[in-house]
Amino acid sequence: MNLKKTFGTVGAAVILTGGIVAPSFATDEVCTPSDAWTEEVLVSEAWVEEIKHPAVGKPVIKIDNTDYVPAWTETVEHEAVTVEHPDEYETVVVEPAVPEVPEESHTDYTYEKHVWAFKWIGTGKTKVHHNDKGAYYAEGVVRWIKVGETKHVTREYQPAKQEVTEQRLVKEAWVETISEAWTETINHPAIGEQYLWVKNPDYVKPWTEVVEHDAVYETVEHPAVECPPAEEPTEEPTEEPEPTEEPTTEEPVDNPVVVTPPAAPQTVNVTVTPSEVEKTTDVKKTPVKEAGEREELAETGSALSYMAAAALGLLLVGGTAALIARRRTN
């Protein structure tokens, strides 16, 4: 409900009716003085809020298996298997071995016959002996003195000789191939599983948070009420002059205008309190709305003051004009 519009409508009604009609919420309560007081107004009651929190993450997650070995192919290069045969030689005897052959020989010893004639004198007669009989030997009175020896070799000495051989090539070196070179491909299967499903340590289950909100109160400061001294209204008796008819030359009018003199001006005191405003409005108050209404009441009070002054001025002008018109018609 717009209070400005309400008071504006009421003010207009007061002016049009000459100050006779009062606003619907005006009361005849007597002003009662009171001290300033503080009121705790309940803005919102205590209430419990439930907040549904969804789950965070997944209960189970997939991770890499550190022990997993993927399938792989191994290529093994096998070398050729060969046997190298060296050159084949045979030993040929070039000179056979010769054993040692000792010398075969004998010595002839020649002796000359000597006779004594105051000295031994050779006779020239010799004798050969195969044995050595010394420097001389005697036969009776004859001496045979060795005058020479001759060696006779029947077989020459031959030293021993080793066998002389030589190596003659029978077969040249050659390579025997047991198996040719070849490539072997070995397919190794995978070991273990590539991924593992484990519990998620960061997973948070859905949960409900209960938040208790306390009641909210607003402190309203009510100012002290001071009442002005009461004044009793005094009314002066008024005597209306008797109307005198004056001749007129004007033609009669079929529908004459009858001007009713307005009543004496009256002062209308409009007292608006916050409690009465609450009675006329069904809007649920909040701290912001109550503050706005208080501002609207202040603005409305000022507006009513101006409108009351304007209404009194209009009443005075209207009454004066009516009296002048009435005297002219008389």
Per-residue pLDDT averaged across 191-213, rounded?
92
pLDDT tens digits, 124-157: 888 888 888 888 888 888 888 888 888 888 888 8
Structure tokens, 238:
């008024």
User: Hey, where are the domains in the chain?
Assistant: 3-39+253-329, 72-94+162-188, 99-155
Per-residue pLDDT averaged across 205-228, rounded?
90
Report strand pairing: 120-129 vs 104-116.
antiparallel
For residues 278 and 293, what is the distance between their CA atoms, to the nearest angstrom? Answer: 10
C-alpha angle 232/235/241, rounded to 5°?
175
In angstroms, what CA-CA distances link 245 with 13, 239, 242? Answer: 37, 18, 10
For residues 87 and 172, what is the distance between their CA atoms, to the nearest angstrom? Answer: 4
Structure tokens, 103:
């010398």
Strand arrangement, sheet containing 142-155: 120-129, 104-116, 142-155, 136-139
pLDDT of 322 above 80: no
DSSP state of 141: T
In angstroms, what CA-CA distances link 116 with 113, 136, 141, 146, 183? Answer: 10, 14, 8, 16, 116
Report strand pairing: 104-116 vs 81-85.
unpaired
Whether pTM > 0.75 for this model: the answer is: no
Q: pLDDT category, 5, cuts 50, 70, 90?
A: very low
DSSP state of 67: T
Q: pLDDT category, 284, cuts 50, 70, 90?
A: very low
pLDDT of 188 above 90: yes
Q: For residue 74, what pLDDT is reported?
A: 92
Q: Average the pLDDT over each of 4-8, 57-61, 177-181, 194-198 and give the range with the smallest value.
A: 4-8
User: Phi and psi (nearest 5°) for 64?
Assistant: -75, 140
Helix axes 287-329, 3-16, angle to 10 degrees: 10
